[in-house]
Amino acid sequence: MFENLSTHLESVLKKLKGHGKLSESNIQDALREVRVALLEADVNLEVARDFIEKIRERAVGKEVMSSLTPGQQVVKIVNEELTALMGDQQAPLQMAEKSPTVIFIVGLQGTGKTTTTAKLGRHISKQGYRPLLVSADVQRPAAIEQLKVLGNELSLPVFNSQPSDDPVEICRRALKTAEQESANVILVDTQGRLHVDDELMNELTRMKEEVSPHETLLVTDAMTGQDAVNMAKVFNDRIGIDGVVLTKMDGDARGGPALSVKAVTGRPIKFVGVGEKLDQLEVFHPDRMASRILGMGDVLSLIEKAEEAVELESTEKMAKKLISGRFDLEDFRDQLRQVQQMGPLDQLIGMIPGANKMKGLKVDTNELKRVEAIINSMTRKERANYQMVNGSRRKRIAKGSGTRIQDVNRLLKQFAQTKKMMKRLGKGSLLKKMPVGPASLPF
């Protein structure tokens, strides 16, 4: 996400940082390029214009002109204005003082509304809440069954609604069921349409008046560009929303909706969907997203993903193995699996500061699968002692894993180099001070 915009902005700002002194003229030239980059990223025209004007006002002031590092000051200003544009601070869900909290999930069909309901249920349960998933979408026949399947996959309770039920009655009964299930958050997947019409809006208005949800979240597709922003404005004007969930952000290289929604609607983006899997929903942090756009990475999100994927106890055991030199291919495989649990590699690399400057860096997501297949084709003794893997064994392992002997040779060579490096670090006691986990191991 934001790949095109990031490339453009970094190029412009790099030129500015190359000047020892900035003039109003070269700032104007740079801002003209920034404006083009924003419009190409499908940012709303008025939003882009206001954004450029705010930067211009600050960039030609004393804050920059009298600075010893004017280029860096401009980068700082752009970072701050990008953060402000997307809402300044992360907007949390507003939970009711008295349980249960009712959250309506609204939107058109095809935006990922039902899947987002399940993803939010998983997210909320990780925070210690007990959610009840409710399908009030009687418009789409498969919606109720889909939510039941997703709820079962997540081991979350799902209210037993029927396609013939009235949506308001479903919500009333769900409130009673929540008490019986000891659920303190009710997530309601409301019905949608293929497009906005009076029937949909009237139905949602009736539901809101009857149930009075504490949060109304609009789910909209980032891939639709400014249509996503326009849809957010329509829903906010007609029924009132408290926040937006942008889905399919992983497939949108432009990022215009993320930069436009808050300015156009006044409502914050609260979550973004970054993949189809049920754990691929991220809390939206404007400051972290601004850093990603400017190529500064997002270390905090990377750490959070590592903490979620790695258990502290297993991390401590791994550290001891590394220091003692008992780290083997089975441990290596376990580390690879933990890396994969953190999410797609290209997204993880995008969170590392400066990673986008590494020219020619390509992420082969199949490489980890090949490595794991090679290790799985070894016997337990071979995984424990890689040095016993001779020519005939390598041939057998390659055949069993569907790879080439060269692939097996490369893995064993890389593993041997890693062990040597870890041994040197252990001798110098540096390893004892290092955080150990998928994000810190040099594989």
In this prediction, residue 360 carries a pLDDT of: 47
268 and 320 part of one domain: no
Q: Which residues contact 46 (CB under 8 A, 6 or more apart)?
A: 263
User: Which domain, by its residues, includes 354?
Assistant: 303-433
> Per residue in 348-357, is it b (16+ CB within 10 Å) or e — as a string?
bebbeeeebe
In this prediction, residue 27 carries a pLDDT of: 83
207 and 319 part of one domain: no
161 and 253 part of one domain: yes
Domain stop point among 246, 277, 296: 296
What CATH number does residue 166 fall under? 3.40.50.300
What tokens appear for 283 in the block? 């809390």
203 in a domain, yes or no? yes
188 within 8 A of 134, measured Cβ to Cβ: yes
Please, what's the largest Cα pairwise distance for the chain?
74
In this prediction, residue 366 carries a pLDDT of: 75
The side-by-side arrangement of strands in the sheet containing 281-283 is 131-136, 185-190, 101-106, 215-221, 243-247, 269-273, 281-283
287 and 331 part of one domain: no
User: What's the CA gap between 202 and 210, in Å, rounded?
Assistant: 12
What tokens appear for 202 in the block? 């009237």
Distance of CA 254 to the CA centre of its chain: 15
171 and 278 part of one domain: yes
In this prediction, residue 28 carries a pLDDT of: 87
In this prediction, residue 356 carries a pLDDT of: 54
Distance of CA 228 to the CA centre of its chain: 18
- C-alpha distances (whole Å) from 239 to each of 101, 151, 154, 220, 303 are 19, 28, 31, 15, 38
440 in a domain, yes or no? no
What CATH number does residue 308 fall under? 1.10.260.30
DSSP assignment of 343-378, as one string?
Answer: --HHHHHHTSTTGGGSTT----HHHHHHHHHHHHTS
Q: What are phi and psi of 236, to 5 degrees?
A: -65, -40
Domain stop point among 296, 327, 348: 296
138 and 285 part of one domain: yes
Whether pTM > 0.75 for this model: the answer is no
355 and 316 part of one domain: yes
312 in a domain, yes or no? yes
199 in a domain, yes or no? yes
442 in a domain, yes or no? no
274 and 187 part of one domain: yes
In this prediction, residue 71 carries a pLDDT of: 73
178 and 47 part of one domain: no
In this prediction, residue 431 carries a pLDDT of: 42
Domain stop point among 58, 85, 112: 85
Q: What are phi and psi of 20, to 5 degrees?
A: -70, -30
51 in a domain, yes or no? yes
Please count the structural domains in the chain. 3
152 and 291 part of one domain: yes
In this prediction, residue 353 carries a pLDDT of: 54
What CATH number does residue 22 fall under? 1.20.120.140
425 and 279 part of one domain: no
User: How do the pLDDT tens digits run along the chain, 443 residues long?
Assistant: 677 788 888 888 887 777 667 778 888 888 888 898 888 888 889 999 999 999 888 887 666 656 657 777 788 888 899 999 998 888 999 998 888 999 999 998 888 999 999 999 999 999 999 999 999 988 887 899 999 999 999 999 999 888 888 889 999 999 989 988 889 999 999 988 878 888 888 889 999 998 899 999 999 998 888 888 889 999 999 999 999 999 988 877 677 888 889 999 999 999 999 888 898 899 999 988 888 787 765 555 555 555 565 555 565 666 666 656 677 888 888 777 776 666 666 666 565 555 555 444 455 667 778 888 999 999 999 988 989 999 999 999 999 999 999 999 989 988 888 777 766 655 554 444 444 443 343 33
Closest CA to 160 of 137, 146, 176, 144: 144
95 in a domain, yes or no? no
In this prediction, residue 418 carries a pLDDT of: 75
443 in a domain, yes or no? no
314 and 213 part of one domain: no
